[in-house]
Every structure is written in structure tokens, then in C-alpha cells.
Chains A and B, each alone.
Chain A
């Protein structure tokens, strides 16, 4: 295993993008089956978002205290260190291209935040995208105030930096992540006065078979619920934070009851004092590298887009596989299963080893299908209801980067005839800032669709990460076949 390889990166059988559960499982599986593998990841350490953990200098003796299933990760990490996988840390992949001979070129910028300006190119015969997901956010009055942070963000900062956004932290939004976030914040010493969940849990109960065949998932939820009880955290279902109070930072939130469509009930909400709010409404697959290559997508039960994959995790583009949240959000265990499945499929394709391990592959497929079914139930149960747009007032910022208000988006829709997110974007600049619509994409699509149920556009962002003009210029010089890149401008 090589860390932060500075030198010519060369050519591999398989390049894996993302070192979370799916990417790690795919990389070690393929390598153990005899392929040469490069594993590119933006973080300094493997693990992805789920297994994010403190840097070695923080000397965490019990990193597993903030995690579920740490042993599954330790196992993958051990297999990674025992392998000769080129683990390229601090590599932010911004584009992937197909070469004339059918191989892939993966372009990355390096450094902690991608500003080291050393462009790198890795070539590979096959590609596995394990790029994970980011958090879906829905705006509400006050959500740009300091102290309002993503639920996943609070979790990430806690896991890697051992810090909290405040002492009294309300956790709100929708989805099973909220329970995990609340229980880890409480375990780490925060007071969590409430978990505010916009959905009910009734929809799970309507699919008892799926629940019964996924006992580990049900057990996970119980573990979190028990932790919340122990820390005296109150869970409020069918409610939302509809306003944040404070001038320079969070001082309190208003929690309002919702109807089944997430429309706030009339009358006053309940005010809860706090100094931070951790909020998130589920996760969105991160698929722009794949969509820029023309991969087919599918609409998931919560109306986000995931990659359409075949039975062995291959996308609609031959030679390009995907695993984990990129194909739909379903958790670390599913990601691991899909990663292994993809690793085996790539090895079978490249080495022609048909038949070998067929029993194992069949078992993995069954497990994947079972967990995918659960993921679908989960996504449907927490899909944003159309009534959430009633949380907004006209002055609420929808696009955080460009400070575009709900009023201006509504104007573009009502007065200027915009019918989709793309037109709203052109008329208002919503989604044209630094984050390229990752934070406001869902909200803008819903507002444009008028009924609050817009489908997010299959956004083809020009670049998966921001790239300096100097890097783009240098790219011209890097296209000679087989040359790995190290000529910083």
C-alpha cells in the first residue's frame, strides 16, 4: 500500500473512485483476485463518510465509540494494508474520460482541498465509482444562520475533529441518519433537547416482510432508540423546525406539527432553546462523474436520482461499474456487499474467470437484493412531502451560495414562466454558485414544479470538483497516452 503517491501514477486494471465502504470492498476484492488496482480518494484516510475517524495525531484510543460495525471497517483496512493497492489519498477526481483504446483516464487534483495544483492522471481498463452521497437540504427561515449545520456535517466534524457545534443541539429533518446523529452527539456530551422528524414511522410497518428479512437494520434502529432514551432525548414525529431564531447565531428554534404532506399545522409552534441545529433530509447519490459519461439513471422512491445498474453493478456504460450510495442510499453494509460484487464482476470480465466463486456471487446478489428492498422502503418513508414549501417565506434564502430567496424563485416560476430547475437557474442564478446546486437543487426543483414534488434534474455539472484554470490549461499537456502526470504549472 502506498500513501499519497507523488510520482507517475501509471496504468492499472481497475481504478476505484472513493475509499468508503463500497470502494474499499471493491478494491480489496479485485486486488485479491489478481487485478492491479488504484484507489483514489479525497480524504487523507480510508473509510468514507460512514467510517470517518480522527487523524492519527488525535490519538483516539477508542475510535469505535463513535461507530457501528467498526470491525467490518477494521477488516477492510487490514486487507488494504496487506495489499499492493495504490491508495492515492488527497486525490479529488474531477473528470473521467474514455480513451480511443477503450481504457479510462481519471483526472484528479491533489491536496487536502484540491488546491495543491498537481494534476494527476490515472489510467485503467475498468472503473468502479463508489462516490457515495451528500446530504439533501430543504430550506426554512433562518437556516443560513451560523449554528445551523448539516446533520451529516455535525456527525462528520464530530467523527474526524472531535468537536461539537454547540452544547444544546436540536437534530431535525428526516431519515434514519437523524437517530444516529442524535445518539452520537449525546454520547459525546451534547444536550439534545429534541429529534424532530418530519415523517412518521407508519410506512415501515406497512412492509413487515422487508423489515423481518433485514433484522440487522431493525436492530440498529433499536440501538439508537435505546441510546436516545438513555440520554432523555425526545423524538417528535411529524414535526419540523420551521424557523430559527437568533441574530448572529442560533438561539432557539420553532418546532411545528406537520400533516401527512409535511404542511405545517396552523397556530403557534413550540419554541426550543438551543445553540445549534443539526439538520438534514436524507441523502442524495453523488453521480455527476457517471452522468457526464452518459450513464443511465433511475428515479429512486424518494425522487432522487441514482445510477441504473445491472445485476452485477455495471452501469449502462460498458466497463464502468458503481457500488454503494451512487446507486441509491442504503447504508454501509449494502455498500460493502455491492463493492465486493462489483470487484468480483470486474475481475471476471478482465480475467475471464467465469464460474470461479459463482456460489459466493449468488449469495452476495441475494443479500444485495434484500438490503436494496429495505433501502427502498426507507427512502419512500422519508421522501419529502409536497407541503414543505409552506415552511418558506419570501425572504428565505433557497440558494445559500448566491443568496437567491424563495420570493425570487417563485417570481421566476409565477411571472416568468419557469417550469424546471434549469430555467429557474438561468433566471435567478440559484444553483450557479460554488456548490453548483448541491445544497439547493432539490428545493429549486420542487419550487419549479409548483406541486412541491419536482424531480431533481440529472445535473451534468461541468466538473465534479472545482478546478483551477491553471489545471485545465495543464491538461492539454497531459494527454499523451500512458504518461502519468506530474507537471505542475
Chain B
């Protein structure tokens, strides 16, 4: 029986790289989204809600729910489940809203 998803599909990824989440290093397999990289490190929350300041992370995993909004390299409101992680990315918890870039 496979012990990890990578075992199951016989993954032979390119060399891993690092990004940071709120200053701490997170190891990423190339090809993973920001959300996948954070899940891989056991991190499930990377924003707080506008109203109650409650923690949230990825929910739908396919770009529909907008619960996974993160601040990526200083830009708020990026859907972490869609954005591929790049070496050296700086991810920070998004507090409250990131409305400025959205017209809808």
C-alpha cells in the first residue's frame, strides 16, 4: 500500500525548492500550487476573514470558493489553489480583504 500520494503515482519530481510562509521556509515540489505546497507542509490556514478574523485556507481546491486567497509576493487576493509556487515566493497571511484588484 502506498504511504504517500507521491509513492502512489511513482512521482520522480524535479529538485524541490523553497518558498516562505509568514517568514518560515516551506519546501515545494515543482509543479505544486501555493495551496498544495502549504498543505504539504501541514499548513491549512493562510488568511483571516474580514468580519470575524477567523482562519481560512483552501476549501474547493478548484478556484470557485475564494477561501484560499493569499498574499503572494506582496500582491493580495491571489487564489492559492490556482497559482503555481515559484522558487523564493514570499507568501503571507492575508488579513481581512484583498479587494483592491477585483472589479466584481
Q: Is the CB of A434 within 8 A of B66?
A: yes
Q: Is the CB of A62 within 8 A of B10?
A: yes
Least CB distance from B68 to A in Å reads 9
Partner of A160, one of B3, B13, B36, B64: B36
> Using Cβ atoms and an 8 Å threshold, which residues of chain B touch A56?
31
Near A by CB (< 8 A), chain B positions 8-55 give 8-14, 29-33, 35-37, 39-40, 44-45, 49-52, 54-55
Q: A112-B84, A146-B44, A189-B5 are in contact. Are A57 and B62 (CB under 8 A)?
A: no
Q: Which of B32, B56, B84 has the most CB of A within 10 A?
A: B32
**Residue on A with the closest CB to B9?**
A60
Q: Using a Cβ–Cβ cut-off of 8 Å, how many residues does chain B contribute to the interface with A?
A: 56
CB 8 Å contact bits of A281-310 with B (1 = contact, 0 = none): 000000000000000000000000000000
Q: Which of A148, A154, A434 has the most CB of B within 10 A?
A: A434
A135 and B7 alpha carbons, distance in the complex (Å): 28
Q: How large is the interface on A (under 10, 10 to 19, 20 to 34, 35 or more residues)?
A: 35 or more
Q: Which of A157, A433, A469 has the most CB of B within 10 A?
A: A157
Q: Is the CB of A466 within 8 A of B104?
A: yes
A150 and B68 alpha carbons, distance in the complex (Å): 12
**Residue on B with the closest CB to A61?**
B10
Q: Is the CB of B56 within 8 A of A112?
A: no
Residue numbers of B with Cβ under 8 A of A are 1-14, 29-33, 35-37, 39-40, 44-45, 49-52, 54-67, 69, 75, 78-79, 81-84, 101-104
Q: Is the CB of B67 within 8 A of A400?
A: yes
Q: Is the CB of A156 within 8 A of B61?
A: yes
> Using Cβ atoms and an 8 Å threshold, which residues of chain B touch A188?
2, 4-5, 8
Q: Is the CB of B62 within 8 A of A156?
A: yes
A-B complex: 5 closest residue pairs judged by Cβ atoms = A161-B36, A55-B31, A153-B61, A61-B10, A434-B66
Residue A162 at the B interface, CB < 8 A?
yes
A471 and B52 alpha carbons, distance in the complex (Å): 32
Partner of A157, one of B30, B39, B65: B39
25 A-B contact pairs sorted by A residue (CB < 8 Å): A56-B31, A63-B9, A65-B2, A66-B5, A66-B8, A112-B84, A113-B82, A134-B60, A135-B64, A146-B44, A153-B60, A153-B81, A155-B61, A157-B58, A157-B61, A157-B81, A160-B36, A161-B36, A162-B11, A189-B5, A189-B7, A249-B45, A403-B49, A403-B52, A434-B65
Q: Is the CB of A438 within 8 A of B64?
A: yes
**Residue on B with the closest CB to A56?**
B31
Q: Is the CB of A147 within 8 A of B51?
A: no
Least CB distance from B95 to A in Å reads 15
> Using Cβ atoms and an 8 Å threshold, which residues of chain B touch A113?
63, 78-79, 82-83
Q: Which of A156, A163, A468, A470 has the most CB of B within 10 A?
A: A163
